[in-house]
Structure formats: structure tokens, C-alpha cells
Amino acid sequence: MISTKNLTKYFGSFCAVDNLTIHVQPGELYCFLGPNGAGKTTTIKMLANLMHPTEGSIKIADRDFKTNAMAAKACLGYIPDMPYLYERLTAAEFMDFVGDLYRIEDSKKADKTEEYLDLFGLQDYRNSLIKDFSHGMRQRLIYAATFLHEPSVLLIDEPLIALDPYTIRMIKDLLISKAREGMAIFVTTHILALAQDIADRIGIISNGRLIAEGTYSELLKEYGGSNLEDIFINITTK
């Protein structure tokens, strides 16, 4: 569902992502870890087609961005760490706008809007302007809008920023549930405990290069330590 081959991104002479090859299967929750400046956000922006690679290829649901970008993006949901929302719309208007972008049939759009506004605790704010929302409420709204078109591939950059403990637990459970239903999910995060809890597989990037990949058990066996934090520190400080 997500496939990169020799993915490389230069900014001038600086190589932010270096020859990255990864594969994420249907129903897999893949956590992508790395220190600040390692190349995580650059990678996810290329996967979302918001940034073009210098070299290499990307396929989303077996659709190549170079030859079939619109079809690839139609399968995709993307939640950035700092989402942009149209502040003069209400929550309900924003959901309607997103549904129209994905050409969702009106009755299904209405049903899904109700479902996800309920799920993310936004029903009481459906007619409130987004400009009056807290950062946490904006994060919940972007989750609701992203799930509206039922993407088969989901990209999330730092999924738990500014969320309260109740919403954090709900998001974790929801991501696991969506993966079990067949969605391929790619998550970048600095919260190692989150990755340890939810990841089917983990990739660790440093200085633009993928330096480790596997299940938590496989990484623990190969690199030692008592938890993912130990593994991460051991291999990124060499």
C-alpha cells in the first residue's frame, strides 16, 4: 500500500532523505522514528505528494505518483502536525467541504459527518467557527475530516500533539482498529512509548538513512535493551 524505492531528497547540497526503500502492507501500522532533523517530516511530505523527491519512486496503493498522482492521492489521508483549517468555516461546513472534494455522495457524507463528529467529541461544536477552536479541537477536527472519505492509506505526522489523555487513548485504539480493518497506516512520532504500544513494524531513520527496521520484538532481539527507548538511543548515538 505504501512503497518507496531509493527515495532521495536534496535541499541544495544537503541530503535530507538518502536512498530510502520501505514497504507498508495492507493492515499494517508502521511507526517511523528518528531524531530531530533525521528526515521524518520530509519523508512523509513526499509520501503525501506535497514535496517531490530528487530521486527514486513512490507508489500509494500500487499507483505511482509520477504517472497517476490523482488516483494515488484519492486513496490517501494525511494528518500533518500543524494542520491548516479554514477558520471562517464551522466544523460542519468544513466536513461538508472535505466531503465535496472527495466527491462523496450526499447521504453518505451526512452519515459519516455525524459518525465522526460524535466520535471525536465535536457534535456540540458543529456550528462553531473553527477560528474559536483550541489546537486540540482543531486536531480532532482534522482527524474527523480525514476519515470521512475512508482512505486505504493514512499518513500521520506526530499524531498526539495537544490532545488530552482521553483523546490520546481513543486515537490509539482507533488507529489499531483501522489497521485491523485493512488500512495501511504510516506514523511519524517522537513518542517512543506510542510506537512500542501500537506499531506492527518500526523503522528508524538517522541522518536521512534507514538504519533499523522490524517488529519491536525483532529490534529488541537484535539491538538489546529493555524497551524501545533503549534501542533508539543505542542505535542513533553510535
Q: What is the 3-state secondary structure (H, E, C) of the chain?
A: CEEEEEEEEEECCEEEEEEEEEEECCCCEEEEECCCCCCHHHHHHHHCCCCCCCEEEEEECCEEHHHHHHHHHHCEEEECCCCCCCCCCEHHHHHHHHHHHCCCCHHHHHHHHHHHHHHCCCHHHCCCEHHHCCHHHHHHHHHHHHHCCCCCEEEEECCCCCCCHHHHHHHHHHHHHHHHCCCEEEEECCCHHHHHHHCCEEEEEECCEEEEEECHHHHHHHHCCCCHHHHHHHHHCC
pLDDT tens digits, 139-155? 999 999 999 999 999 99
Return the pLDDT at 136.
86
CA atoms of 105 and 115, how far apart (whole Å): 15
pLDDT in tens, 56-99: 999 999 999 989 999 999 999 999 988 889 999 999 999 999 99
C-alpha cell at 143: 482527524
Architecture of domain 1-75+152-161+179-238: 3-Layer(aba) Sandwich (3.40)
Average pLDDT (26-38) is 96
CB neighbourhood size of 102 (10 A): 15
> Is 220 a residue whose pLDDT tops 80?
yes
Strands 63-64 and 76-79: unpaired
In the structure, what pLDDT confidence band is assigned to residue 160 with cuts at 50, 70 and 90? confident
Residue 159 pLDDT: 87
Compute CA 170 distance to the chain's CA centroid, rounded to the nearest angstrom.
16
Q: pLDDT category, 236, cuts 50, 70, 90?
A: very high
Query: Which residue ranges does the chain devote to CATH 3.40.50.300?
Result: 1-75+152-161+179-238
Statement: residue 162 has pLDDT above 80: no
Q: In this predicted structure, what is the pLDDT of residue 38? A: 95
The pLDDT mean for the chain works out to 94
Contact at 8 Å (CB) between 159 and 83? Answer: no
Instruction: Report yes or no on whether pTM surpasses 0.85.
Output: yes
Give pLDDT, residue 31: 98
The mean pLDDT value for 203-214 works out to 97
Asked if residues 123 and 117 have their Cβ atoms less than 8 Å apart, the reply is yes
67 Cβ contact list (under 8 Å, min separation 6):
none
Cβ count near 190 (within 10 Å): 15
Hey, which residues does 202 pair with through a beta bridge? 31, 214
